[in-house]
C-alpha cells in the first residue's frame, strides 16, 4: 500500500506539472513530499485529505488498486465521445453517456469530472437544459485549480455556453482568464495542444460572429499554422471552412474556393465526416459554378 500511495502521488503531481515545492505549498514541508514519494513516510488522514484536494483526486485514488493511473476505465469512451463531439452528434453522445454514467463510482475523480463535462454537453445541446448545464460546470470549476487540464476544458466549454446564451459579462471574464491560461501551456501533451487549437478556433469564430473580420482572419490563420507546426489535423477542416467563410467578400474567387476544397478533403478523407463533406461539396457546387 505504501508503494502504491507513493507512486500515485508522484505520478499525479507530474501529470499536473507540479514541483514538489508547489505541491507542499500551504500543506506541509517539501521534504515530507520527497520522503512520501520515496515510500519513506506515511502521512496522516488530514495531510492526505489536503493532498487529494490539491491533486484533484479522491482519497480512494491513493489506495484503490482498481483505479488505474492511466484512467483505463474511460479510454474507449473518451475516444468515441471525442468523435461525436467533433461531429456535433449529440444524440449519439447522449446514448453512450447514459450507458457509461452508471459506472462512475469506479472512476478516479479526474474521470468523474470528464463524465460530468460530457453530461453537461448533452444537457446543453441535446436536452436544451442550458442553465442547468452551465450551473453544473460552474460548480465543478470551484473544485479545480487553474493548472488542471479539466479546469481549462470546462472553461472552454463555458466560453461557448456563455456566448450562445448571451451571458456576455461572464463570457468576457472567462475569455480573458482562459486566454491567459492557454498561453501558458507548453503543448507537449496532445490534450494541451488540442485544447489550445479548440480555444483559438472558438475565438476565431467569435470574432467572425462579431464581424471583426480582420482579427478573425488573423486568429484563424495563426491557428492553422499551429496545426501545421505540430502536424495535427485536429479541427483543421473546421478552420479552413471558417477561413473560406471569412474570405468570401474580398479574396479572389479561386483562393476562397481552395479553402472550401481543403475543408471538403479533410472532412471526407481525414475525419471520415461524410455529413460535413457532403454539405461542403454541395456548397462548392452552388457557389462556385464555372
> What is the DSSP annotation of 180-221?
HHHHT----SHHHHHHHHHHHHHHHHHHHHTT-HHHHHHHHH
Residue 191's CB is within 10 A of a number of other CB atoms, namely 14
Stretch 82-95: mean pLDDT: 92
Q: Which residues, in sequence order, are CB contacts of 126 under 8 Å at separation 6+?
A: 90, 91, 93, 94
Residue 72 has pLDDT above 70, yes or no: no
* Position 78 confidence tier, pLDDT thresholds 50, 70, 90: confident
Of residues 237 and 188, the one with the higher pLDDT is 237
Stretch 134-149: mean pLDDT: 90
In 3D, which of 97, 81, 227 has the Cα closest to residue 153?
81
Q: What is the pLDDT of residue 7?
A: 83
Residues 154 and 197: beta-carbon distance below 8 Å: no
Quote the CA–CA distance of 260 and 253 in Å, as a whole number: 11
Q: What is the pLDDT of residue 201?
A: 96
Of residues 46 and 211, the one with the higher pLDDT is 211
| Mean per-residue pLDDT of the chain | 88
Which pTM was predicted? Answer: 0.74
Stretch 132-161: mean pLDDT: 92
Count of residues in the chain: 290
Q: What is the pLDDT of residue 70?
A: 46
Stretch 186-213: mean pLDDT: 92
Q: Which residues, in sequence order, are CB contacts of 36 under 8 Å at separation 6+?
A: 5, 6, 9, 42, 43
Stretch 60-74: mean pLDDT: 61
Q: What is the pLDDT of residue 1?
A: 47
Q: What is the pLDDT of residue 2?
A: 65
Q: What is the pLDDT of residue 219?
A: 96
Reduce the DSSP state of residue 87 to 3 states and report it: coil
* Position 68 confidence tier, pLDDT thresholds 50, 70, 90: low
The gap from C-alpha 20 to its chain's centroid, in whole angstroms, comes to: 26
Residue 221 has pLDDT above 50, yes or no: yes
Q: Which residues, in sequence order, are CB contacts of 223 under 8 Å at separation 6+?
A: 197, 200, 201, 204, 239
pLDDT in tens, 224-261: 999 999 999 999 999 999 999 999 988 999 999 999 99
| DSSP string covering 151-182 | HHHHHHHHHHHHHHTT-HHHHHHHHHHHHHHH
* Position 66 confidence tier, pLDDT thresholds 50, 70, 90: low
Residue 171 has pLDDT above 70, yes or no: yes
Q: What is the pLDDT of residue 60?
A: 72
φ, ψ (nearest 5 deg) of residue 21: -65, -40
Domains and CATH numbers, the chain: 2-62 (1.10.260.40), 70-150 (no CATH), 185-290 (1.25.40.10)
pLDDT in tens, 229-238: 999 999 999 9
Residue 59 has pLDDT above 80, yes or no: no
Q: What letter would DSSP give residue 251?
A: S
Q: Which residues, in sequence order, are CB contacts of 58 under 8 Å at separation 6+?
A: 52, 108, 109, 112
Residues 267 and 280: beta-carbon distance below 8 Å: yes
Amino acid at each position: 500500500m505504501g508503494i502504491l500511495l507513493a507512486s500515485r502521488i508522484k505520478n499525479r503531481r507530474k501529470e499536473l506539472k507540479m514541483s514538489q515545492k508547489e505541491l507542499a505549498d500551504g500543506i506541509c514541508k517539501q521534504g515530507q513530499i520527497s520522503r512520501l514519494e520515496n515510500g519513506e513516510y506515511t502521512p496522516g488522514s488530514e495531510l492526505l485529505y489536503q493532498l487529494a484536494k490539491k491533486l484533484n483526486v479522491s482519497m480512494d485514488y491513493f489506495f484503490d488498486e482498481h483505479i488505474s493511473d492511466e484512467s483505463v476505465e474511460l479510454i474507449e469512451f473518451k475516444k468515441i465521445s471525442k468523435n461525436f463531439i467533433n461531429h456535433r452528434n449529440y444524440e449519439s453522445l447522449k446514448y453512450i453517456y447514459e450507458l457509461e454514467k452508471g459506472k462512475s463510482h469506479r472512476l478516479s475523480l479526474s474521470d468523474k469530472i470528464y463524465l460530468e463535462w460530457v453530461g453537461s454537453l448533452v444537457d446543453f445541446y441535446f436536452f436544451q437544459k442550458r442553465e442547468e448545464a452551465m450551473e453544473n460546470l460552474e460548480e465543478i470549476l470551484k473544485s479545480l485549480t487553474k493548472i488542471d487540464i479539466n479546469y481549462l476544458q470546462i472553461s472552454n466549454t463555458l466560453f461557448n455556453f456563455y456566448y450562445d446564451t448571451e451571458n456576455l459579462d461572464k463570457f468576457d471574464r472567462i475569455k480573458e482568464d482562459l486566454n491567459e491560461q492557454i498561453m501558458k501551456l507548453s503543448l507537449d501533451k496532445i490534450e494541451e495542444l488540442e485544447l489550445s487549437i479548440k480555444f483559438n478556433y472558438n475565438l476565431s469564430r467569435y470574432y467572425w460572429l462579431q464581424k471583426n473580420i480582420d482579427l478573425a482572419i488573423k486568429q484563424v490563420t495563426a491557428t492553422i499554422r499551429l496545426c501545421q507546426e505540430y502536424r495535427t489535423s485536429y479541427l483543421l477542416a473546421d478552420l479552413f471552412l471558417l477561413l473560406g467563410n471569412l474570405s468570401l467578400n474580398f479574396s479572389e474567387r479561386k483562393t476562397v474556393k481552395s479553402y472550401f476544397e481543403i475543408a471538403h478533403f479533410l472532412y471526407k478523407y481525414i475525419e471520415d465526416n461524410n455529413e460535413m463533406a457532403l454539405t461542403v461539396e454541395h456548397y462548392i457546387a452552388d457557389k462556385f459554378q464555372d
